[in-house]
């Protein structure tokens, strides 16, 4: 049974989806707010929030976990642990906000802004 095993496929294969989500996560961590489609923003939220939760405990194991999940990008793990995690020390979850912006006129895709709260 496939209960609770749903994810957005974006018309891509598994490795391409993973690359898409990690590159979106990289942009979000570096810029702290990005404009993308609504479906991508909602999928990205489920990927980034557990990383921020893990970064709140700055151990070597969590640093290695973050580097592995972010595709061997040490700079991103460092920013998560040093900058973003201390911001949310007392917060238990909900580190990102997805705001619907507008529909693109050419193909009616719903755009959304995802940012750290």
**pLDDT of 105 over the 80 cut:** no
Can you give the pLDDT at residue 2? 80
Residues in a beta bridge with 103: 110
Q: What is the C-alpha to C-alpha distance for residues 28 and 18, in angstroms, rounded to an integer?
A: 15
Which residue's structure tokens are 């018309």? 11
| 39 has a pLDDT exceeding 80 | yes
- In the chain, DSSP finds a helix count (H) and a strand count (E) of 5, 3
Question: Residues 59-94: pLDDT tens digits?
Answer: 999 999 999 999 999 999 999 999 999 999 999 999
Dist CA 117 CA 50 (whole Å)? 15
Instruction: Please write the tens of the pLDDT for every residue from 23-38.
Output: 999 999 999 999 999 9
In this predicted structure, the answer to whether residue 95 has a pLDDT above a threshold of 90 is yes
Contact 93, 49 (CB under 8 A): yes
What's the pLDDT score for residue 35? 95
From residue 85, alpha-carbon distances to 2, 50, 65, 95, 114 in Å are 33, 11, 15, 10, 17
């Amino acid at each position: 049974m496939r209960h609770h095993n749903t994810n957005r496929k974006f018309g891509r294969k598994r490795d391409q989806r993973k690359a898409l989500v990690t590159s979106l996560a990289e942009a979000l961590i570096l810029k702290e707010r990005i404009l993308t489609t609504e479906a991508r923003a909602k999928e990205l939220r489920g990927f980034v929030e557990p990383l921020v939760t893990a970064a709140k405990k700055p151990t070597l194991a969590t640093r290695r976990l973050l580097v592995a999940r972010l595709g061997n990008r040490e700079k991103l793990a460092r920013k998560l642990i040093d900058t973003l995690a201390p911001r949310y020390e007392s917060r238990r979850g909900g580190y990102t906000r997805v705001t619907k912006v507008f529909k693109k006129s050419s193909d009616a895709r719903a755009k959304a802004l995802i940012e750290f709260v």
